[in-house]
Amino acid sequence: MALIHKLLNGIYIFRKCQITGTASHLFWGPHFADYCSSSLQKPVAAPGKSDSSEKKTERNLQGHHQTGVSLDITSPEEKPEVSFDKAIRDEIKDHFRRLKDQFMIQWIGPEGRPLHEVLKEQAKVVWQFRGKEDLDKWIVTSDKVIGGRSEIFLKMGKNNQSALLYGNLNSEAPHDGESSRSGYCAMISRVPKGPFEMKKPYDWSQFNSLYLRVRGDGRPWMVNIKEDTDIIQKKDQLYSYFMFTRGGPYWQEVKIPFSKFFFSNQGRIRDVQFQLLLDKISSIGFTLADKVDGPFFLEIDFIGVFTDPAHREEFAYENSPYLNPRLFK
């Protein structure tokens, strides 16, 4: 395509200059165009100038023209060879080479990333908190939705380098005659959406552990993971595990293997356990419900996933054939 562009450029210059014998030098490009515009255009004499001045100017122009031709234009014996077939073949070969590189090297993996990068990746930050747009990916809720008195808030931490989750836990049951228990606060990630509001589940199948950097006040939190499902009966199903904060001013790194997460439905741990499907993760959440009334806080730097080569366990819980016979058929 570059040769064709140069050819068209040269034809345009040739038609503009109207010089005999310059058709063989079409590939001089902009340099040849500058020469034509500066050296080969005869200036128009101003009114009132004498004929001798015009002749002198013409002689000077011809002399400059001859000098320029001898410097910038090659002889007919040195004209370059033009082969359109070769140019087309080279262009096609170049496109096939790029296509091969795209399939062999830039093979698309999960989330549109190159597969060779995904396979080599051992850790990945999924959520981090560096601005208000990061907080918008989360929602907070408490027992106020059922008439309780607990409060929870979410804001940016110091220097906009973390998220601060804080509030007050109150386990007093609402006086509505229906609820007998209360006292919980939660932070839940929003379900990512794609075009036409389609859900985009997370694919963590190449990792085996959850990785967090947090700083708390010593309270235990429940970490909840939800699978992506469109079945109404499964909307209350969660996979959960505990996260114990140390308290004090120091950060701690929490690593929880996915094999440790146990299955629950409507807040109750089920006897029949199922393994978490890591390629269909919908959201993650943190729940505080330790029945200790009073203020609390949890500061989060980032939430990610990683591959722990020392962890070989696939599933931490056993299922009895008496509880779920179909698993052992």
Residue 71 has a pLDDT of 43
Average pLDDT over every residue of 85-112: 72
More confident site: 263 or 9: 263
Asked whether residue 23 carries a pLDDT value surpassing 80, the answer given is no
Residue 165 has a pLDDT of 97
pLDDT band at 256 (very low <50, low <70, confident <90, very high): very high
Domains of the chain: 2-43+54-103 (no CATH), 119-328 (2.60.120.430)
pLDDT band at 157 (very low <50, low <70, confident <90, very high): very high
pLDDT digits (tens, 9 = 90+) for 31-61: 444 434 444 444 444 444 445 555 544 555 4
Residue 253 has a pLDDT of 95
Closest by alpha carbon to 60, among 42, 37, 46? 42
Residue 266 has a pLDDT of 80
Average pLDDT over every residue of 253-273: 91
More confident site: 127 or 87: 127
Q: What are the beta bridge partners of residue 262?
A: 240
Residue 69 has a pLDDT of 43
* DSSP, res 321: T
Cα 173 from Cα 146, distance rounded (Å):
9
Residue 328 has a pLDDT of 57
pLDDT digits (tens, 9 = 90+) for 113-123: 665 666 566 88
Distance of CA 280 to the CA centre of its chain: 18
Average pLDDT over every residue of 158-174: 93
Residue 235 has a pLDDT of 72
Residue 284 has a pLDDT of 97
* DSSP, res 279: T
Average pLDDT over every residue of 121-144: 93
Residue for token pair 């993650």:
284
* DSSP, res 309: T
Model confidence, pTM:
0.63
More confident site: 271 or 70: 271
* DSSP, res 47: T
